Amino acid sequence: MNLDLVTKSDLLELKSELIEEIKKIVPLQTTAPDEYLKSSEVRKLMKISAGTLLHLRVSGKLPFTKIGRIVYFSREDIRRILGNGTPENAVVKRLFRGEAHGEHK
């Protein structure tokens, strides 16, 4: 009967080798972007109330994704809506009037 002993150092070496092989197969993301925001984060970022956010969501002016009971908003959509250097409240007022992104009434 042939018997091989496995030591703790053998297992640690195997672990290191496996980790290196996995890293080659699945590259690690060093910067994991937070692509989606929850409602509370959006309200804080845009400085708006829950009712205003609900109106923007229901009217279709702010796209969203719902998973279970949690509503998520794309960070990119929020950036697009806020624009560069535009005060948040002015953007929200234009959204209510349908004037954002060339939708002038």
Q: Which has the closest alpha carbon to 42: 2, 4, 5, 95?
A: 95
Q: What integer is the mean pLDDT of 65-93?
A: 79
Mapping DSSP onto H, E and C, the string for the chain reads CCCCCCCHHHHHHHHHHHHHHHHHHCCCCCCCCCCEEEHHHHHHHHCCCHHHHHHHHHCCCCCCEEECCEEEEEHHHHHHHHCCCCCHHHHHHHHHHCCHHHCCC
Q: Which has the closest alpha carbon to 89: 49, 29, 55?
A: 49
How far are the Cα atoms of 38, 39, 74, 76, 87 from residue 34, in angstroms, in the given order?
11, 14, 9, 10, 23
Residue 26 banded pLDDT, cuts 50, 70, 90: confident
The pLDDT of residue 93 is above 90: no
Residue 104 banded pLDDT, cuts 50, 70, 90: very low
Could you read off the pLDDT of 30-76 as tens digits, one per residue? 444 578 999 999 999 888 999 999 999 999 989 999 888 899 999 88
